[in-house]
Amino acid sequence: MEHLRVHANGVDHHIARLGSGPPLLLMHGWPEFWWTWEPVMLRLAERFTLVAPDFRGFGDSGKPDGDSPAAGAGSAVLAADMLALLDALGIARIGLVGHDVSASVIQEMARAAPARFTGIFCFDCPHPGIGRRWIEAGHVREIWYQNFHQLPWAASMVGASRETCRLYLEHFLRHWSVRQEWVDGALDAWVDNFMRPGNLQGGFNWYISRNAARMAEASGAARVLPRVTVPTRVRWGDSAVLPSAWGDTLGETFADLDFAPLSGVGHFPHREDPDRAAVEIGGFFAAR
C-alpha cells in the first residue's frame, strides 16, 4: 500500500494507492476513513488501480480552520476537492466507488463532470428521493446523531477520553451492521483514527455543512436536479439507519441504474462481506 500526500483545492489530502489497471476512486462515509476500503482494495489490486482518499477533516487529510465547526465539508466542497485531486494525480477518467456520505459527493461530481467517469458504484446511497422518510415516526430516532454532531461541544464530549470515543463509535459500527464480527478486529484502529486531533470535529463538520440541504430533503422542499447520466450500480445492505427499501426512488436521481438490495449485510457491505463487495464492484467496472 502506497501512501501519498497531494495538495488539491487548498487542502493536503492523504491517499492510499494500491494495484494496477483501470483506476477506481474509493470514497468513504461516516464514521469512516480510507482504511474502511482496505479489504476490498486487497481483493481488487490485481485488476484495478485503487485510490482511497481521506476527505478533508477526516483521517490524515488536512483540517482547514483547525477544529472550527465553520470549516466547509459539505458535498459540493468535497466534490470540488475530489475533482481537484484527480487533476493533481493526472487522472483524466476514473470509476467512482462510494458509500454513505460519499454517495452525495459522487452525485455532485457526476453532474459537474460526467465525461470523466467510467461508471458509479455505491453501497447504501442517500439521495433526495428518501424525502420525509428520514423523519417519519419510528425512524427519526435513528438519526439523532445528525443533530448531535452540530452541537459546538459534541466533539469534545465524544473525545473526552479513549473510552468515550470507543463507546460512541462502537455503537454505530455494531448497530448498523448485520455481520458484526468485523468490528472486533477493526475497532481499535477506528478509535486511533478518530482520537487524532481534529478528526472527530472534521467528521462532524459534514453534518454542520449539509444541514440545510438535509432539512430541505426531509421536508420535501429540495431542489429538483437533473438526473445523473453516468451508468450507475447501487447495492444496498439493510441497516437501521438506511433501510434497503429506500432504494425504490433511486431512479429519480440516476438515469442509467442497476439497483439491487444485498441480503445478509448491513450498512458496511465492504467490511461485513468484502469478498462479495469486491465481486460486485469488480464485475461492474470490468464491463465498463
Q: Catalytic site residue 188?
A: no
What DSSP designation does 77 have?
H
CA dihedral 164, 170, 171, 177 (to 10 degrees): 170
Distance, in Å, from the CA atom of 50 to the CA atom of 31, rounded to the nearest integer, reads 21
The β-bridge relationship of strands 11-19 and 49-53 is antiparallel
Longest dimension (CA), the chain: 48
Q: Catalytic site residue 267?
A: yes
Q: Of 28, 267, 270, 273, which residue is the catalytic one?
A: 267
Q: Of 54, 100, 124, 273, which residue is the catalytic one?
A: 100
Phi, psi of 120 (to 5 degrees): -125, 130
Distance, in Å, from the CA atom of 285 to the CA atom of 23, rounded to the nearest integer, reads 10
Q: Of 99, 124, 149, 207, which residue is the catalytic one?
A: 207
Q: Catalytic site residue 100?
A: yes
3-state SS class at 60: coil
Residue 11: count other Cβ atoms within 10 Å of its Cβ.
19
Whose grid coordinates read 447520466?
A: 229
User: Which amino acid is located at 288 in the chain?
Assistant: R
**Which residues are known to be catalytic?**
100, 207, 267
